[in-house]
Structure 1
Amino acid sequence: MQNRVFVINRQGEPLMPCKQQKCRKLLQSGKAKVIKKEPFTIQLLFGSTGYKQLVSIGVDSGQHHIGLAVTSQDKVLFQGEVSLRQDVKKLLDTRRIYRRGRRNRNTRYRPPRFLNRAKPAGWLPPSVVSKVQHNINWIRRLRAVLPKAELHIEVGKFDMAKMKQPDITALGYQQGDLYGYETAKQYVLDRDNYTCQICHGKTKDPKLKIHHIIYRSTGGTNQVSNLLTVCATCHTQANHQPGGKLYALQAKKFQSHRSLKGATFMNILRRRLFTAFPEAKFQYGAQTTLDRAKLDLPKAHYNDAVTISGIQKIAQQPTAIVMFHQFRKKKRSLHEATARKGRKTPNRASKRNAKNTKAINGFHLNDYVQLPNGRRGSISGFSGQYKCYVKAGNHYLTINPKYKQVNLCKLKVIRHQNNWNVLEINTSDYMMA
Structure 2
Amino acid sequence: MKHENANRVFLLNRDGNPLMPCRPRKARLLLKSGKAFVVKKYPFTIQLKYGSYGYKQKVSLGVDTGQRHIGFAVVSQEKVLCQSEVELRQDVHANLYTRKIYRRSKRNRKTRYRQARFLNRVHGKRDGLWLPPSIKGKVSHNIAWIKRYLAVLPNPDLHIEVGKFDMAKMLNPQISGKQYQEGSLKDWKNYEYYVLARDEYTCQLCHKHGEGVKLVVHHIVYRSQGGTNRVDNLITLCTDCHTTKNHQPGGKLYKWMKAKKKVTKQLKGATFMNILRKRIMTAFPEASFQYGSQTYVDRKNLLLPKGHFMDAIAISGVKSVGQMPETVTMISQFRKKKRSLHEATARKGRKQPNKAAKRNAKNTKYARGIWLNDYVRIIGNNAKGYVQGFKSNGYFVYLADGLGNYVLNNGKNYINRKQCRLIMHNGNWQKAEQKLSLYEFK
TM-score range, shorter chain: 0.7 to 0.9
Percentage of matched positions with identical amino acids: 54
Alpha-carbon deviation of 1:382? 2.9
* More deviation, 221-230/294-303: 221-230
Distance 1:357 1:432 in 2: 35
Distance 1:142 1:220 in 2: 35
* Residue of 138, 156, 170 corresponding to 1:163: 170
The answer to whether residue 392 in structure 2 is matched with residue 380 in structure 1 is: no
Amino acid at match of 1:29: S
TM score, norm. by length of structure 1? 0.86
Consecutive unaligned residues in structure 2, runs of 5 or more: 347-354
Distance 1:238 1:303 in 2: 45
Alpha-carbon deviation of 1:346? 10
Alpha-carbon deviation of 1:331? 2.8
Distance 1:328 1:279 in 2: 34
Distance 1:238 1:431 in 2: 36
Distance 2:118 2:245 in 1: 39
Counterpart residue number, 2:368: 360
Distance 1:377 1:55 in 2: 33
Contact conserved, 2:367 with 2:394, CA < 8 A, in 1? no
Contact conserved, 1:205 with 1:231, CA < 8 A, in 2? no
Contact conserved, 2:11 with 2:22, CA < 8 A, in 1? yes
Structure 2 CA distance for partners of 1:407 and 1:248, relative to 1, 3 Å: closer
Q: Spell out, residue by residue over 1:18-67, the C-alpha distance to the aligned partner (whole angstroms, 9 max, x if none).
A: 22222122112211111101001111111222222321100011111110
* Residue of 46, 51, 60 corresponding to 1:47: 51
Distance 1:318 1:187 in 2: 55
Counterpart residue number, 2:63: 59
Structure 2 CA distance for partners of 1:117 and 1:387, relative to 1, 3 Å: same
Counterpart residue number, 2:324: 317
Structure 2 CA distance for partners of 1:70 and 1:94, relative to 1, 3 Å: same
Structure 2 CA distance for partners of 1:317 and 1:242, relative to 1, 3 Å: closer
* Residue of 70, 75, 82 corresponding to 1:71: 75
The answer to whether residue 394 in structure 2 is matched with residue 390 in structure 1 is: no
Counterpart residue number, 1:128: 135
The answer to whether residue 406 in structure 2 is matched with residue 406 in structure 1 is: no
Structure 2 CA distance for partners of 1:76 and 1:432, relative to 1, 3 Å: closer
Count of residues in correspondence between the two structures? 423
Distance 1:424 1:319 in 2: 10
Alpha-carbon deviation of 1:223? 2.4
Counterpart residue number, 1:211: 217
Contact conserved, 2:304 with 2:310, CA < 8 A, in 1? yes
Amino acid at match of 2:98: T
Contact conserved, 2:68 with 2:87, CA < 8 A, in 1? yes
Q: What are the within-5 Å matches in structure 2 for residues 291-370 of structure 1?
A: 291-334=298-341, 336-337=343-344, 353=361, 355-358=363-366, 360-361=368-369, 363-370=370-377
SS at structure 2 position matched to 1:138: helix
Structure 2 CA distance for partners of 1:195 and 1:388, relative to 1, 3 Å: closer
Alpha-carbon deviation of 1:195? 3.7
* More deviation, 159-168/415-424: 415-424
Distance 2:90 2:56 in 1: 39
The answer to whether residue 141 in structure 2 is matched with residue 137 in structure 1 is: no
SS at structure 2 position matched to 1:302: helix
SS at structure 2 position matched to 1:356: coil
Alpha-carbon deviation of 1:234? 4.9
Counterpart residue number, 1:25: 29
TM score, norm. by length of structure 2? 0.84
Q: Spell out, residue by residue over 1:222-244, the C-alpha distance to the aligned partner (whole angstroms, 9 max, x if none).
A: 32223323456655666556665
The answer to whether residue 269 in structure 2 is matched with residue 265 in structure 1 is: no
Alpha-carbon deviation of 1:288? 0.9
Q: Spell out, residue by residue over 1:2-27, the C-alpha distance to the aligned partner (whole angstroms, 9 max, x if none).
A: 31111112222112112222212211
Q: Spell out, residue by residue over 1:333-392, the C-alpha distance to the aligned partner (whole angstroms, 9 max, x if none).
A: 3352389xxx98999xxxx9465233634x442233344456543211234353211124
Alpha-carbon deviation of 1:141? 0.2
Consecutive unaligned residues in structure 1, runs of 5 or more: none
